[in-house]
Structure 1
Amino acid sequence: MRVAVLSGAGISAESGVPTFRDDKNGLWARFDPYELSSVQGWERNPERVWGWYLWRHYLVGTVEPNAGHRAIADWQKDADVTVITQNVDDLHERAGSSPVHHLHGSLFEFRCAHCNKPFHEELPAMTEPTIEVEPPVCHCGGLIRPDIVWFGEALPQGPWRHAVDAMESADVVVVVGTSAIVYPAAGLPEMALARGTAVVEVNPEPTPLTPYVTLTIRESASRALPGLLERLPTLLK
């Protein structure tokens, strides 16, 4: 069986990774997300943007994959599983999944904002959030930025192509923890449905995708995903 998994913020939230929307009272709550996640925000205040992403980089490193991440990795024993994620953490990889295609980049990859050369030097430890931190400087003189897809930027072509290929070849698609409102990623399950492929949505809350999927499971990822692969033939009858 070929399984394509599309994961979103919901699965990582169960590990304690807060989404921007969850930070109602924290240090960063007073900032517009666009200020911290756009080329324009970076150009206006790279120290603030770097401080935000360095803190998230550190925070994600302190949490662990949950039962949902581990279940998807376990599916690889019995199926050909491709993970496509909108998340910028590395929890799927740490749970043992491979391949994992990051549509929106990764908090663990960095590059020069000027010459695009990857940056692999060790980053300073950050035990407390700091509003502004000086970004490292590339050998070309450009500033190092997180290799994240910011507002208005195109998705990386490699991961997107792999995602489309997975949707076209999958026997079943499992969509877990995604709001189904962020395009073009939200269009991937629609591609599968148009081909007649079964699409299973795992989400405690309804989404715009819910009316169209083959099966909806109203549970969290950590509750729904362990053992789901074995149950799918019966559930999809």
Structure 2
Amino acid sequence: MLSPQQQQYISQASDYIRQHNHICILTGAGISAESGIPTFRDKQTGLWENYRAEDLANIGAFERNPSLVWSWYQWRRHLVKDKKPNPAHQALARWQKQLSGMTLITQNVDDLHEQAGSTVTHLHGHLWKNRCSRCDLPYDLPVDYENSALLHCQHCSGYIRPDIVWFGEILPQQEWRDAQMAVTRCEVFIAIGTSSIVYPAAGLAELAKYNPQRAKIIEINPNPTDNPMVDIQIQAKAGDALPVLVEQLLELE
């Protein structure tokens, strides 16, 4: 249930969005958490409770112990394989189908946006894709996600790793260029469920704020970041706020 103040901020956001054509949206872990997908901040459970995610999601850890890191990702895949899009994902997909000028970018590695029907630019890779750690070619053979045995590249015999951007690695260059291009021309930038502290993606809001259009920054997050660049702060879950926002936008189209 949204409070009167939350509803007021949503109305302010919809009034402003309706006046502009180029909208850029960045989603983070918070939107997927509402579907039950653990975030990196959550404490690990079971066999992995003695490990920090940051200590496993990096190339050094994989080089030292590829079996350990691969097993951890197989476990994470098992955790999320049955998760479904929530009302926030569905609202964004509905909005995107109606608004050609909306660009959706995500820091998440799951496929919940795609399941909901959205077209999305992934900055941090894809949980369900794999590539070779040696020659970098995609690994397109079927993968049994219940089996934690290491896989080898069919081209060079290198170990297969998840196609995910680990700590210390650069973002995929084409996706990053696409995101920057969308942000530099957007008139409204909406950050949803992201703490805006993981760079370089966190710099997108700043790029939007100081682009030629001087984009309005809207934040939807139950835990507000209190970023001084934010113009409208909607302190609510994405699954509560976005369906209301999108309904207001589309009913007046």
User: So what's the TM-score if we normalise by structure 1?
Assistant: 0.90
Moved over 6 A (4+): none
Match of 1:72 among 69, 92, 95: 92
- Contact residue 35 and residue 42 of structure 1 kept, 8 A: no
What does residue 203 of structure 1 align with? 221
Match of 1:105 among 105, 118, 125: 125
Secondary structure at the aligned position of 1:27 is classed as helix
What does residue 138 of structure 1 align with? 153
Letter in 2 for 1:83: L
Letter in 1 for 2:116: A
Q: What is the 5 A alignment of 1:22-37?
A: 22-37=42-57
- Of 175-184 and 24-33, the range deviating more from structure 2: 24-33
Letter in 1 for 2:183: M
For structure 2, list consecutive stretches of 5 or more residues without a partner in the other structure: 1-20
How many Å separate the matches in 1 of 2:226 and 2:232?
14
90 and 62 in structure 1: CA distance in 2 versus 1, 3 angstrom threshold: same
The answer on 1:185 being equivalent to 2:214 is: no
Deviation at 1:92, TM superposition (A): 0.5
Match of 1:87 among 82, 93, 108: 108
Show CA shifts across 1:175-211 (max 9, x none). 00001110110000111111210111000112152x2
How many Å separate the matches in 2 of 1:34 and 1:171?
35
- Of 181-190 and 164-173, the range deviating more from structure 2: 164-173
78 and 171 in structure 1: CA distance in 2 versus 1, 3 angstrom threshold: farther
152 and 125 in structure 1: CA distance in 2 versus 1, 3 angstrom threshold: closer
How many Å separate the matches in 2 of 1:190 and 1:48?
37
117 and 25 in structure 1: CA distance in 2 versus 1, 3 angstrom threshold: closer
Across the aligned residues of Structure 1 and Structure 2, the Cα RMSD in angstroms comes to: 1.7
What does residue 216 of structure 1 align with? 233
Question: Percent identical across equivalent pairs?
Answer: 50
Deviation at 1:25, TM superposition (A): 4.1
Letter in 2 for 1:163: A
- Of 47-56 and 21-30, the range deviating more from structure 2: 21-30
Deviation at 1:35, TM superposition (A): 2.8
How many Å separate the matches in 2 of 1:158 and 1:88?
16
Show CA shifts across 1:78-111 (max 9, x none). 312211111010001111111x111111101110
Deviation at 1:58, TM superposition (A): 2.7
Secondary structure at the aligned position of 2:126 is classed as strand
Deviation at 1:168, TM superposition (A): 1.3
Deviation at 1:77, TM superposition (A): 3.2
Deviation at 1:29, TM superposition (A): 2.1
Number of equivalenced pairs: 226
- Contact residue 34 and residue 41 of structure 1 kept, 8 A: no
Deviation at 1:227, TM superposition (A): 3.2
What does residue 245 of structure 2 align with? 228
Show CA shifts across 1:99-130 (max 9, x none). x111111101110111111011111142xxx8
User: So what's the TM-score if we normalise by structure 2?
Assistant: 0.84
How many Å separate the matches in 2 of 1:81 and 1:35?
36
- Of 5-14 and 52-61, the range deviating more from structure 2: 52-61
The answer on 1:175 being equivalent to 2:191 is: yes
How many Å separate the matches in 1 of 2:157 and 2:49?
32
